[in-house]
Structure 1
Amino acid sequence: MEDLSQIARKLSACGLRPSAPRKALLAHLQACGTHPTPYELLDAFKAQGRPISIATLYQNLQVLSEAGLIRKFVDSEGTSRYDANLGVHHHLHCTSCGRILDIEVPEALLGSLSALGQAEGWQVSKVQLDLDGLCNQCQGQETLESA
C-alpha cells in the first residue's frame, strides 16, 4: 500500500493537484480492497471523522477515473462502484449481501469467450467477466433460513 507522499506523487504525475480529498480517496480505495459505492465511501469517511461533501466526492471520483488511477464499473444491479485494482481481473458478485471479490480468469478461457464474439463477426476488444451468485456466507444463511 502506498503512503500519502507516494499517492501525492502519483497524482502529480497524472497532472492532478494532490488535494487532501484526492489523496484520502485514493488511499482509502487502495487500502479497503473492496468495491465501494459513492455512498459507502461517504459513510466510511464520516465514520473516520473526515466527512466529505457528496459533490466533492463525485467530482474527485470522476477525476481519478478519467486519470486512470481508479476504475469505475457498474455492477449487475446498476450501481456504480469504484476499484483501485487496475490489473486485469474479473468479479464475483453475491446477489444477497452485495459483496464483490476480484478473481483472475485463465487466459485460455478469455480467449474462448473472445472467439465466441468473433464467430458472430464481431471484433472483440475486451472481455469482462462478472459472475453473480451467492457467497459462502449467504449460502449458509439460506440453508439456516429454509430449515
Structure 2
Amino acid sequence: MLVSLGVENFRSFKKKTNIELKPITVFVGKNSCGKSSFLRLFPLFRQSIEANTTGPILWFGRYVDFGDFNNVLYKQAEDRHIKFFFKFIISKKNSSRPFSFYRSIHTDEEEIPIDIELTVGADKKKTKYKSINLSFNNFNVSIT
C-alpha cells in the first residue's frame, strides 16, 4: 500500500516535499502553491507505466500533459534533476504472496516499510534515469 508520495525540484516544489496519504487527504493552500501539480502525479505515473516508452516518465500523454522535463523542473533548480519519493507498507496479512517475500528478507515483522527514490534528469529533451534507491529492513540498494 502506498502511504506517502514526495517530490523535489518538481514545478513549485524546490525542496523535498512528502505528503502522507490517508483514507481522506485534503489539499489546502494559496493559488499556484502546487496542489494541482501534486494531484496530477497519479495520472502522470499511470500514463508513464501504461505507455510503451523508453524514458522513465512520460510527461505528456493520455491522462496529463506537463510538456517536457524542462517545463516541470523547478525554475531555479541548482541541480537539473527531479526526484520522486514513494513509501509503501507491505503487510503480511494483506499481501497476496506474503510467505515468499517475508522468507526472502528473513523477518518476523508484520509490516515492512519500503522506500523508493527515483531521480530523473534530461539529456536534450529526453528524460533519463539518474538513480533508483530502494530501502527496506535495514537493506539499501542503489542503482545509478
State if a TM-score over 0.5 links the two structures.
Answer: no
Bigger share in strand: 2
Greater length-normalized contact order (CA 8 Å, ≥ 6 residues apart): 2
Larger proportion of helix: 1
Between structure 1 and structure 2, the one with the greater Rg is 1
TM-score by length of 2: 0.28
